[in-house]
Amino acid sequence: MLTERLNLSCGRLLSHMQLACCQAYCGIPMHGKEMLIYSVLDIEQKPLLLTGHHGEISAMTFGKGCRPVLLCSASADYIIVWDIEMCQKRTREGKVAAGTVIGTLLGEVVHLSFCFSDERVVACSGATAYVLSSKRQEVISTLTGHVGPLTSAEFCPWDKGILVTTSEDRTFKVWDLKTESIFYQSFVLSASPLLSVFFLEENRHIIIGSTDGQVWCFSLPDDHKCHLVTKIDLQKIEKRHQMLKETVSHQAGVTGKSAVDEVETSKPVLKMALCSSFNDTNKEQKKDNSWLCIGSSDGLYVVNLATSELLTLFYFKDYPELSITMAGSWSISDGCDNSMVFLVSSLFTPIVVLLELSLCDLRRIWAGGEGFSVFPSSPPVPESPLNAELKKKEPNHPKKKGGKKEQPLVFHSKVKSSGYNNSPRRVMFSPKTNVQKSRSSVKATKNTGLLLRDYPADISAPTVPHIHLRSANKPVYCLQYSGDGKQILCGLGDNSVLLYKSSLTGNPTVYTGHDKPVSSVSWSLNRQCWLSASEDQTLRIWTHGSPEPAIIMANSMFSKPIKSAQFYYLDKFLLLGSGHSLYLYLYNVDATHDDIKRYQQRSFVKMAKCIPTKSGTNITDLSAINDFFSYIVLVCGSDRSIQVFDMNKGSVASELPDAHSRPIHCITQNKGSMFSTQAPDSYNLFLTSAVTDGVKIWDLRTLRCVRRYENHLNRCHPCSSAISPCGRFIASGSEDKCAYVYDIRSSSYLHKLQKHSETVLSVAFNPATPELLTGTLDGELRLFQSCSGAQVSHDTSAAVQSVPNMTA
């Protein structure tokens, strides 16, 4: 909750002036040329009066350090640096407080900023940025290059030789202070001027804000070539936040406030700051703090940069006790006792207020409810559909009539022929000489120590091109490795399925029978059979060595195409989504055939449960874990929702409305593999992909998005995503003929895998070795391997030991 600690009436309007606030003090100009310095810790204490400017003060800022506390103020005549504690001492002694003049006649300064060592100050005047010494009157650098007036400038916290400026020309520039040259110049970001800039030191990101409520996050690598990480529109995320609140209120039976008569206002990004005090009591959040406070004209917005979502917002109009209704400028600083303080000037009245926000209240507002876990906490209830069993049909053999039949005269099932029908032998026995040893026996005795049994946990991402081939001229819609990593299934747009060795060597086995493109493929856990589902409303289960399916679930069973299908509950069930229903089938695969009735299938299926989705939305994709017992099934709907099915109860347990701005076409859980071990909580993470809305990673325990990845291009095709077996990397297809590899902890991409011939539709990680397979729109397959670590054999069945002291 926002609380007002100080309210001051000024002699003039300060709506767009830069105010000064730090953890201990806040500075407010009075009567144009004077300044009052208040103690934030003790508001009742008499303020410090500073005089010395001959013109009206236009900008103020505090230094970054705590001892001494420096204040810089600017007017058209002077730029002065004040030592606050020294000025307080001189005032107590009855002397006039004085500062150090560091610049004269630099024009109307609109923005000031100290470097992180407080040795330099940057002053923005017109289209020029002046870098000044904070100890004496010296202009260190003069930076010119913008074609419009500057609006802000900040020093880089991790590189003291870098400065970033924003301008009304709608661009920002990254400057090399040593040579006074430009490292990077952005394109025109918006139709409105850029207002503010902020650095995220943890991720080495630059945050840029504009007057029309746009926020851009750019990475700043060592080569200084900035890459866009994410973009946020305050107006859009505000509307989405309000819609989500209305949905929750409607579900809870509470009537929300109507927004019909509300006036839509612009949301300029006046000031940005990190919720750094939040770290003091949360060490886990300190490792990756992405909560950003944005001061705008109508209130305070708290945004999660990792997910591009609005956490909460504080409208001035919701706090009638405040003396301000619209803000003209903000100054944000850390407070004491896990709080933040804001010095805000009114937009239409000559009033300045000091506000305080408790981050403990912020945590309570954002505290998540009780979520779910992929691991069951209790056995299935007696009425659970997971308890369903299949009664296998006993072979119906006709009863034999009569007594005992004649018994064989020998004890063996086969009797060697007497040889009467064979031609007589004309060559007698001759010994074999010059016998050479078979090479196969030599190979069999080789040491298998170079084979890795475990998936290397600390190896780099697979980015080195190894093999590429063209499977067909049709799209590769789906890819899946077998559990042992030896084989790969490819579902194609020409209605066929290809079965390759994981090394992509040799000719694939082709399986045909579908009439429309294959939408999904899935291996069984024991790798003895696998299934394929198609847009032709059929599902087929195949076995090794047979070109014909063991089970065909024809289109008469389903009214709409099967969007996704897989084996479930340790191969006990078939799980598939068609239309607005989730189907659970028991099945029995019997590959034997009667020679007389060879077209009669002995395999059969039986429906165990059919569960409709909430609100009757059509299923676009689903995901469940088959490697261990789990009750959770995640289903995506055409209404952009994610629904959590509890298969133990056979119902929808929870729903996440408007999870993306478009319907989700791909959902993938972190399933790991039999060759890797992750922390148990890691298996509660899952990915979702939607056209034009990037990839999001969610936590099932809180049912909230925890990070967003949108460096790749996905505007029309259903590009899939995947999590590596070690749980460290995310791969995504893209429409710019590349595949992107992300570090799961960062929103900016780690590698960009280029030279694909077309849009990358499908990606899949090998569960046994650090390899990534991609499939494109024109049927090309590319295999990427890791550039570090040992070369891993594809014959993982022989991996019984590893070389001692070998590092991945």
Buried b / exposed e over 677-713, threshold 16 CB at 10 Å, is ebeeeebbbbbbbbbebbbbbbbbebbbbbbbbbbbb
- How is residue 414 annotated by DSSP? S
Q: How far is CA 621 from the centre of its chain?
A: 18
| Extended beta strands in 323-399, E state | 327-334, 339-346, 351-358
pLDDT, position 426: 54
pLDDT, position 287: 42
pLDDT (tens digit per residue) in 111-163: 999 999 999 999 999 999 999 999 999 999 999 999 999 999 999 999 999 99
pLDDT, position 765: 96
From 62, 56, 38, select the one nearest 48 (Cα to Cα). 38
Alpha-carbon gap, residue 780 to 476, rounded angstroms? 8
274 forms bridges with which residues in the sheet?
Answer: 292
- How is residue 277 annotated by DSSP? G
Position 557: which residue type? M
From 702, 698, 755, select the one nearest 721 (Cα to Cα). 698
Report, as an integer, the average pLDDT of 696-713: 93
> pLDDT band for position 400 (50/70/90)?
low
pLDDT, position 749: 92
Cis peptide before 221 (omega within 30 of 0): no
pLDDT, position 428: 54
pLDDT, position 255: 52
Q: What count of other Cβ atoms lies within 10 Å of the Cβ of residue 115? A: 20
Alpha-carbon gap, residue 195 to 206, rounded angstroms? 13
pLDDT (tens digit per residue) in 597-625: 666 677 889 999 999 998 889 999 999 99
Alpha-carbon gap, residue 605 to 489, rounded angstroms? 23
From 278, 378, 281, select the one nearest 334 (Cα to Cα). 278
Phi/psi for 74 (5° steps) reads -135, 145
Report, as an integer, the average pLDDT of 368-387: 87
Where does 498-581 have alpha helices with state H? none
pLDDT, position 120: 95
Position 552: which residue type? I
pTM of the complete model: 0.81
Please check whether residue 707 is in contact with residue 250, taking contact to mean a CB–CB distance below 8 angstroms.
no
Q: What count of other Cβ atoms lies within 10 Å of the Cβ of residue 729? A: 22
> pLDDT band for position 371 (50/70/90)?
confident
Alpha-carbon gap, residue 606 to 601, rounded angstroms? 14
Position 758: which residue type? E
Dig out the tokens for 629 from the structure: 């017992």
- Torsion, Cα of 239, 245, 249, 255 (10° steps): -40
| Extended beta strands in 406-528, E state | 462-470, 476-481, 487-492, 497-501, 509-511, 518-523
pLDDT, position 335: 79
Please check whether residue 276 is in contact with residue 292, taking contact to mean a CB–CB distance below 8 angstroms.
no
pLDDT, position 290: 81
pLDDT, position 232: 93
pLDDT higher than threshold 80 for residue 300? yes
């606030």: which residue's tokens?
21
Please check whether residue 619 is in contact with residue 636, taking contact to mean a CB–CB distance below 8 angstroms.
yes
Region of poorest pLDDT, from 212-216, 242-246, 785-789: 785-789
Position 82: which residue type? W
Report, as an integer, the average pLDDT of 360-365: 71
